[in-house]
Structure 1
């Protein structure tokens, strides 16, 4: 990077990418619109193909052709701001576009642009539904531009995946791409691989994927024995009383036994001494069970559905279908809920979402809330944010927060406010912080004779239908953060709502082609005259982006709308992250506080929470980064073994006599194949063992460093690096030992199963909720909170 670029990045504020060159390109595209509109479909496809010969660099022509293709196939003429978003992604940026501004279409045009440049594109979404919906929705557009597309879902077969990835543009959930990468890494034949080389990642909901889920490990596991001891520990901790037998810290990240609790547990386990070396396993089991019992809350952190524990995605409020906690904690929660344990397993390989994305030479994306994490996108991915203005100015009215002294006062005022607004018939969307709160509020509304529709992770299958009708006259929708991603809210209701990106270009802002079914003018106008959709937040989230996403459900494409947030000084956000801040303010008779200093406390707590989350992200990546570097070396070694005859050549040098004997007995092709499988097996086995060692090391490194007063990351590196340096040598030595023990069968073949080369009989994939209590010890977390309290002032 040159001096000029370094200075620019140093002084450039987040979201200040200069859009002037992009606007000029869009203007040139507009000048070509009449010519392009006169082309036949075949001529338009041929014109797009001609772009391939120029490397796809005539961006004005691309925009003109893409606009016309969208008009013909989708009935939607992209606005200028959508084309600016397209060009922003083609420039390698994360584009911020407000809700309802047409991100899906802008992303499709960008993906087509990369394809016409000869680059293969993976359009990553957060789930199967959005990947399939967007691929099928945009397919006619791609077809007219001559760009083959496909999509991958959770149930896609290996052959279907291989065919889908062969297309120029592939839509897929980020998790499925990660799982395919992991499976490819363990292939023993190149023909079994499904993923081609990574080229371009275009990410929908980029802030969610790149920041919120960046440190989530995707895991490939193999069959292992189930733990049988978890229920016993669960029964023991179920008898313990908070404040008597254990204490929870202010941040609800750590719990520890008191002396009374220790005595009670030791008696329950047969009079053992928990803190002796021989009972380390029991101590660990009790602590994990205690964490599950005291810190993980049903209907907040997880739900129980169909006899299984289902984790809740904190940033989206949805059930994280493929996600689980590390095996010990997962089993402890299942025991807590008296459920049958799910399959455990040995981790064969893993990759974080951040590590997965880092493997793409080109990364870009789109979201409605990128500026708030622009510094993180720059720090972790070297990505800049381009803020695209709305096509129509936002006229939503955002009221100041309403602050109350207690949660009880807040909830009473909340119901009264909903009732007052509902009398007018104005549709209301109430965003709650978790499932338990949504259900508690629904019961309060029912007692107040107010009918509402509840949407949370327990009924997320009905999400699209519920959210699409949230703008109906007189409707009250109570929802967790699940609302707002992937489905649009139209004023007056929308039986034909088909997605988040509604942009026909006819200027009426309703997203429907004139004269077709959808919002009737009377229903829409009736709600618009009342002020449009009214969004109410029942509390501030830990991230301001989640607040903005909720607020952004109202006021789309110039619609009228309003929003307000209720908060209290007893909310978890304030008590966890600003417990020492005691504003000198007197509430009125309804418990409301109208004092600037008190309002500042809530914002201060949110800034502290965001700072802590960022530091945990950084800390987790510092650990993961070392593992990624080690994995890269192992994969390079593995790839050489898989694609060449290096293994046979190596074994010939290390064991020439045995090599000569086997060569004569079975011939060169069979010997090369056997040598390859032996080397791959031991390389994979050593890597699996190394991952287990690193997991155990990381688990205990903080307690050890705390006792010695040392930096835990330094201690981790000090132990991890020397062990890794022996890995490749150990794998080769084991391969030699196995090779020398090989004996031909009576048929003149080499039976590798007799040599002990048994791979797992079953494998499966999942995501791990990595270290839900933070990646640092209690003192480190408290130190972080204190530090960010000072910084956030």
Structure 2
């Protein structure tokens, strides 16, 4: 019966179905109190979520920031205070609405972590909103990558703390290795208010944050990279249809074996190194998947089009790319602990957030976080003109038409924002435009430090801005740009406002919407159009073998089947990514549960006498002997250090076991076994064995250790250095993920028929 109720609830409770009318009534009542509140010398918010609260925070914003929140901003604030994700269009003032919600939680005595997508936005928003918080009697702090432990501790003591999601995660991981309670940094989680909620909670949900130690050199060797450079695609190796796997042909195998002087498949180590080098060579493209800057490989965040700070690929792939680019291998090491962003944020008893494009992932927000989406209407109606896609049979014809359109629009003086899919495309387009005598400004992962200035000027008369990804840029594009005060704003408006051009459809419709949303802010005029070709990567990967209808004489595909094909490919891509997310969470959920139990045990050891009692009960004679010799306090301290060391060591080994287990578990499906069931069947007893191993090792150490000496010299040496990074999803997925992708594509095509 419960499952039937769930089905009915899911049917009735559609994404975006949060009823705004209660919030709107409260905001209307707040308007009646506005004059009275304005007369008050001291602002007291009253009960959070009421009309008086709304009137007071509105007046606080007016006094401190010179901004009077719109009614819709207060509606968004109330929705977040109720634990929802507020969908608010670009330019509608999400930053202020989020700050008002954070203040509301803080006024209830709850510590709020305002989760941002990067350090720049965390610092900017904290400093920008500081006068508002101080007017309401609240404190605010922020954390960046360069913050010291004491600076972090101080920031976490504030009522509201702004931080990038990665920094929050790294602090949590570091706290899990402390051996003295005084070294802890992060307080118990209470409220997470997430900016760009769809990006953080969905797009990056399965990204693991990693704490590593015990460095060793990279595993890839330059010789292997040099070898694969000599191989020819199609002759020595082939790439699968989705472009996510590469394999040697018979001729390629012979060539490699002769070059290396080995029987390739008798040496697993050589096979692994070769596969990594081949994947790096054939499937990862410079200026698309990564850039090389300052002698290092920097990954590109595909959902944001910018450098993915602190991110690296797993399993030797990072070192293979470095060898491909003839760079020294960066440090690698043993993973001491890790946590996915989804696991990190699910720690918070209360989660809410805001973004411009939550509705499209409403089902996932509910499935993974039990969050609902409140669609807040714009303050002024959107009058942007969104043109139908212009579809071409070939990429060459698309580029010609794109350049012509840019030239024609620029001739009128209308500002143009062109969104490309990757760095390489942005640079090719820049070169092509300059060859035609135009002077675009380019914003991509190579110059993202200049983004605020570039974006702020994108609305100026005659501006041509080429950018990869507009998600999470955090800066509005005002008509007229920097010089909007000189009357150029009206001139741009008369030309139709900012014109947004997409050079192709993304894997996610949300990314398209985020690009479009840069035009038409706050009721401004604007327009948008996407140029698509039958040779685009989206169609090649997710609608392979499905022909594009014939083009007309001018190269345009006007047959409605062209639009259907593009939409079909995008839906397949979104379905595949959702299923991979679900599959990842099915595996990581058990790991998160096991980690939770380990942390409970660790806390009892760190803050209490659990270690002492365990070893005293197990070895009473040894304990009494040591206590008489050196005193209870010294023995208790040693007990704590011994158990913490072995608990952390065994958890590290368990993580390695689970990683290896999952990597090969998909092979069980060949025997008609459920891989997830098989994973759980082995992971659960392995965890029980972990606890037994901690107990056994702790007893063995306690029997022989000199508790007055340095424990590190007696086999309890911890890593001398640790570092943190994010592991970007394997860009090719596991073998099981690739199976899911193929199956999803087949099912989607069958449904279409």
Report the TM-score when normalising by structure 2: 0.98
* 2:499 pairs with one of 518, 528, 534: 534
Name the SS for the 1:223 alignment partner: strand
Q: Work out the CA distance in 2 between the residues paired with 1:594 and 1:98.
A: 31
**Pair 1:775–1:29, CA change in 2 (3 A):** farther
**Pair 1:171–1:792, CA change in 2 (3 A):** farther
1:202 aligns to 2:193 (yes or no): yes
* 2:467 pairs with one of 476, 479, 490: 479
Q: Work out the CA distance in 2 between the residues paired with 1:86 and 1:554.
A: 24
Q: Work out the CA distance in 2 between the residues paired with 1:531 and 1:96.
A: 26
Deviations 1:550-601 (A, max 9, x none): 0000000000000000000000000110112224x32123321111011210
1:732 aligns to 2:720 (yes or no): no
Corresponding residue of 2:323? 335
Deviations 1:184-206 (A, max 9, x none): 11111111111111000000000
Q: Work out the CA distance in 2 between the residues paired with 1:39 and 1:3.
A: 54
* 1:781 pairs with one of 736, 741, 751: 741
Task: Quote the offset at 1:434 in angstroms.
Answer: 0.5
Q: Work out the CA distance in 1 between the residues paired with 2:543 and 2:713.
A: 63
Runs (5+) with no aligned partner, structure 2: none
Corresponding residue of 2:728? 769
Q: Work out the CA distance in 1 between the residues paired with 2:741 and 2:227.
A: 28
CA contact (8 A) 1:150 1:169 kept: yes
Q: Work out the CA distance in 1 between the residues paired with 2:481 and 2:472.
A: 15
Q: Work out the CA distance in 2 between the residues paired with 1:483 and 1:115.
A: 28
CA contact (8 A) 1:198 1:360 kept: yes
Task: Quote the offset at 1:6 in angstroms.
Answer: 7.6
Task: Quote the offset at 1:149 in angstroms.
Answer: 1.0
Deviations 1:189-239 (A, max 9, x none): 111111111000000000000000000000000023213543232122222
* 1:77 pairs with one of 64, 68, 77: 68
Corresponding residue of 1:24? 25
Deviations 1:56-93 (A, max 9, x none): 34521111111001001111000000000000000100
CA contact (8 A) 1:318 1:482 kept: no
CA contact (8 A) 1:607 1:792 kept: no
* 2:279 pairs with one of 286, 291, 294: 291
Match runs of 1:341-360 below 5 Å: 341-360=329-348
Q: Work out the CA distance in 2 between the residues paired with 1:350 and 1:484.
A: 25
Deviations 1:509-542 (A, max 9, x none): xxxxxxxxx6225210110000000000000000
1:411 aligns to 2:406 (yes or no): no
Name the SS for the 1:520 alignment partner: helix
Q: Work out the CA distance in 2 between the residues paired with 1:472 and 1:639.
A: 57
Task: Quote the offset at 1:296 in angstroms.
Answer: 0.8
CA contact (8 A) 1:409 1:590 kept: no
CA contact (8 A) 2:218 2:330 kept: no
Name the SS for the 2:265 alignment partner: coil
* 2:685 pairs with one of 709, 716, 722: 722
Q: Work out the CA distance in 1 between the residues paired with 2:641 and 2:589.
A: 29
CA contact (8 A) 2:712 2:718 kept: no
Q: Work out the CA distance in 2 between the residues paired with 1:599 and 1:528.
A: 30
Task: Quote the offset at 1:653 in angstroms.
Answer: 1.6
CA contact (8 A) 2:500 2:519 kept: yes
Corresponding residue of 1:498? none
**Pair 1:230–1:167, CA change in 2 (3 A):** same
Q: Work out the CA distance in 1 between the residues paired with 2:450 and 2:133.
A: 30
1:14 aligns to 2:2 (yes or no): no
1:311 aligns to 2:286 (yes or no): no
Q: Work out the CA distance in 1 between the residues paired with 2:520 and 2:447.
A: 26
1:615 aligns to 2:579 (yes or no): yes
CA contact (8 A) 1:218 1:767 kept: yes
Q: Work out the CA distance in 2 between the residues paired with 1:92 and 1:484.
A: 22
Mean Cα displacement is larger for which, 15-24 or 479-488?
479-488
CA contact (8 A) 2:105 2:112 kept: yes
Corresponding residue of 1:243? 234
Name the SS for the 1:579 alignment partner: coil
Corresponding residue of 2:417? 429
Name the SS for the 2:530 alignment partner: strand
**Pair 1:534–1:247, CA change in 2 (3 A):** same
CA contact (8 A) 1:212 1:315 kept: yes
Task: Quote the offset at 1:792 in angstroms.
Answer: 5.9
Runs (5+) with no aligned partner, structure 1: 495-517
Q: Work out the CA distance in 2 between the residues paired with 1:492 and 1:209.
A: 32
* 2:615 pairs with one of 644, 648, 651: 651
Corresponding residue of 2:624? 660
CA contact (8 A) 2:304 2:472 kept: no
**Pair 1:622–1:792, CA change in 2 (3 A):** farther
Q: Work out the CA distance in 1 between the residues paired with 2:473 and 2:713.
A: 53
Q: Work out the CA distance in 2 between the residues paired with 1:92 and 1:780.
A: 33
Name the SS for the 2:507 alignment partner: coil
Q: Work out the CA distance in 2 between the residues paired with 1:382 and 1:334.
A: 41
Task: Quote the offset at 1:281 in angstroms.
Answer: 1.4
CA contact (8 A) 2:605 2:640 kept: yes
Q: Work out the CA distance in 1 between the residues paired with 2:155 and 2:3.
A: 40
Corresponding residue of 1:523? 488
Report the TM-score when normalising by structure 1: 0.93
CA contact (8 A) 1:484 1:550 kept: no
* 2:674 pairs with one of 711, 721, 730: 711
Q: Work out the CA distance in 1 between the residues paired with 2:37 and 2:614.
A: 61
Corresponding residue of 2:662? 698
Q: Work out the CA distance in 2 between the residues paired with 1:484 and 1:651.
A: 52
Task: Quote the offset at 1:607 in angstroms.
Answer: 0.5
Name the SS for the 1:403 alignment partner: strand
The two structures, once aligned, show a CA RMSD in angstroms of 1.6
1:456 aligns to 2:447 (yes or no): no
Corresponding residue of 1:153? 144
Corresponding residue of 1:758? 717
**Pair 1:275–1:5, CA change in 2 (3 A):** closer
Task: Quote the offset at 1:770 in angstroms.
Answer: 2.3
Corresponding residue of 1:570? 535
Task: Quote the offset at 1:353 in angstroms.
Answer: 0.3
Q: Work out the CA distance in 2 between the residues paired with 1:574 and 1:385.
A: 30
Name the SS for the 1:592 alignment partner: coil
CA contact (8 A) 1:605 1:789 kept: no
Task: Quote the offset at 1:4 in angstroms.
Answer: 8.4
Q: Work out the CA distance in 2 between the residues paired with 1:473 and 1:580.
A: 44
Corresponding residue of 2:515? 550
Name the SS for the 1:457 alignment partner: coil
Name the SS for the 2:316 alignment partner: helix
Task: Quote the offset at 1:328 in angstroms.
Answer: 0.5
CA contact (8 A) 2:219 2:316 kept: no
Task: Quote the offset at 1:751 in angstroms.
Answer: 2.8
Task: Quote the offset at 1:9 in angstroms.
Answer: 4.0
